[in-house]
Amino acid sequence: MDTQVIIAGAGPTGLTLAVDLGMRGVRCVLLEEKEAPLFLPKMERSNARSMEIYRRMGLADRIRAVGLPADVPMDVFIVLENLVDPPLLHKKYPSVAALKAEIATTHDGTLPLECYQLISQYTLEPFLKSVAETLPSVSVRYGHELLSFSQDANGVTATVKDLAGKTTEITAAFLVGCDGGSSVVRKQLGIKLSGNEDRMLQLRQSLHYCEELFDRIPIGKGRHYHVADNHATQMIVQDSTKHFTLHAIVDSDEDMVRMFAKTIGMPLKFDTLYVGEWKQNLLLADSYGDGRVFIAGDAAHLVIPTGGLGMNSGVGDAIDLSWKLAATLEGWGGPKLLPAYTTERRKVGDLNVQASRYATLGRRKWRSMWKPNIRDDTPEGAATRAELVRVADTEQPKSNEMTGAELGYHYFGSPLVWPEEGDGPKYDFVEYTPSTWPGVRLPHTWLDDGAAMQDRIGYDRGFTLLRLGQSQADVSGLDKAFAGYRAPFRVLDIPDAEPRAVYGCDLILLRPDMHVAWRGNRLPDDAAKLAAIVTGH
């Protein structure tokens, strides 16, 4: 075959998948129809879980270096008309530097190892592309469009067209469609999207460059500025603090330019770089693949940006699928391993669609308080403003405080996770409660020497058994069972007190994606069954 994995689409999901596969030594070809990454406003925040993933890949600090400066707060404002007059509501959220300081002194597992990072998609994509291009096993091909594909029991054949119009075929063991909401791969597989509801908004989005604006905003530095109007107007600061996106419901592209000038409220020179339309969606694919072909990212789920779960869901898809593909190609992944990708990630996709709906309804609720008299200097106008602020104070945080959705998603019920008696911890969009219940992400803890547990585990291709506290449990049976499948496995002794206290048991078996596969104080009587389950046999 020409390669092992073909990836269609070089957005954040496809690029993250290509980089992770490349770091695992998997040969892959990344196809992208565009000639180069485009300077278009899309996602603008890599959340805590994504940043933990990028840290394990050795990329977190480099991403922060090209993102929003660490000392800039992430505050959210609701303004009456512009950025000059006193805001109706100011919700404070810490900068990266402030959150890092808090994480350094928190020892109960409630906080992530990495906090969020504001980074525009047009910054993240070129960065990930540059990383992918350094990996010997990855071939990055921009200007190559996937036209169609066929598959059989042995592999996949993709038909690809380059910029010159030349058509070629590429053969591989697997194909992954990371090709967005209008995915060619999903459509050819015949997988339908389900969801949406009434009141899906159609908006315009514009990107503006203004050299002076951020330094001169009189009401305070922040990330989001919502205008309390009947146009759903919202201005977002991008990572350079010189670029700004605006969302609004207006009739024309020219209206967006006027709306931006009205929103900033100061006679500053600015350039409009882009205006386009977009529609809100809450959609989930009925399946995440068929046979040797899979979908990920926006091809599998489309959410409203409220809550920031779109791109970050795609990163999670990529990391879940990557280790399963690598394990299968290396020969130790069992027949149930790749089918479990749909089982695990579609459940998370459904949770994230629900979380996005929850956040969106919160924003809709306070915006529904708008009345034409909101700017009137009358008792009635004052009452309208007061009611909007009262509702927004409770409802707006639903869009900005989604720690539970970011860190608390799980793979309960997966065929690759040891079934533990009981229901597991309750999932909550907002609040995150650390747990080691099989299927969850391993909580962050600090070691006695100041290192992070995730760093001590490192970027491992296989399974890791943490032997915690002063445990001397005999784990040789599990070692032998994994060896029977030729699956990478190691035992990591962690005598430190804090992890044992946070995790609540002596032994924790981790998958390559840092999710808990099993836990206990001694191995189960049938260690061979445990190894068979978690490797897909």
Going residue by residue through the chain, which has 537 residues, state the pLDDT in tens, using 9 for 90 and above: 999 999 999 999 999 999 999 999 999 999 999 999 999 888 889 999 999 999 999 999 999 999 999 999 999 999 999 999 999 999 999 999 999 999 999 999 999 999 999 999 999 999 999 999 999 999 999 999 999 999 999 999 999 999 999 999 999 999 999 999 999 999 999 999 999 876 789 999 999 999 999 999 999 999 999 999 999 999 999 999 999 999 999 999 999 999 999 999 999 999 999 999 999 999 999 999 999 999 999 999 999 998 889 999 999 999 999 999 999 999 999 999 999 999 999 999 999 999 999 999 999 999 999 999 999 999 999 999 999 999 999 999 999 999 999 999 999 999 999 999 988 899 999 999 999 999 999 999 999 999 999 999 998 789 999 999 999 999 999 999 999 999 999 999 999 999 999 999 999 999 999 999 999 999 999 999 999 999 999
* Residue among 283, 298, 284, 306 at smallest CA distance from 361: 306
Q: Which residues contact 435 (CB under 8 A, 6 or more apart)?
A: 424, 425, 443
DSSP codes, 357-372: HHHHHHHHHHHTT--T
Q: Give the Å distances, CA to CA, from 530 to 382, 513, 518, 520.
A: 64, 17, 8, 12
Q: How far apart are CA 162 and CA 369, in angstroms?
A: 52
CA dihedral 74, 80, 83, 88 (to 10 degrees): -50
Structural domains in the chain, sorted by start: 5-68+117-196+282-353 (3.50.50.60), 410-534 (3.40.30.120)
What's the predicted TM-score (pTM) here? 0.97
Tell me how far apart the 2 most distant CA atoms of the chain are, in Å. 79
Q: Give the Å distances, CA to CA, from 321 to 16, 490, 515.
A: 11, 22, 13
DSSP-assigned beta bridge partners for residue 29: 6, 139
